[in-house]
Amino acid sequence: MIAAALATFFGVGRAPFAPGTVASAVALPCAWLILWKLGPTALLAASLTAFLIGVWATGVYAASTGKHDPSECVIDEVAGQWLACAAAPLSPIGFAAAFVLFRIFDITKLWPISEGEKLPGGWGIMTDDMIAGGLAALIIAGLRWQGLV
């Protein structure tokens, strides 16, 4: 099933421990390559594309499992991580900051991130991670402006 492959990011979501963190880590080399070869606009576009595909795929997958937000759905982490990385400099420190900030926001689900989860189906699965990625990106942009990353 195509929706399952996409929702689980080609099986990454089936990792036995912390599948969301594993997916965020797997997303980093892809983000690095896109940022290096094509720039931040392309990485932003990749994030938004993953978001839109993910809305459909996670919605279909969640409906098939009967779960509201199955832990194996990790395309949301990929989309959110790519969004955070789009604001980061192409450096190990920049990407580490993007990873840590995104994971903190995604795991804690503080407001306004928690509001995204209230949307129905795939929209709710995907939107909270995009808000987390957006907040991480804003902080990274501020750190870059201050010359800290």
| Sign, CA torsion 77/26/52/37 | positive
Q: How many domains are contained in the chain?
A: 1
pTM, entire model: 0.95
How does pLDDT run across 58-71, given as a tens digit for each residue? Answer: 999 999 998 988 99
| Per-residue pLDDT band at 80 (split at 50, 70, 90) | very high
- Give residue 15's domain range: 2-145
Burial of 66 (0-12, 13-18, 19+ CB in 10 A): exposed
How does pLDDT run across 15-53, given as a tens digit for each residue? Answer: 999 999 999 999 999 999 999 999 999 999 999 999 999
How does pLDDT run across 89-116, given as a tens digit for each residue? Answer: 999 999 999 999 999 999 999 999 999 8
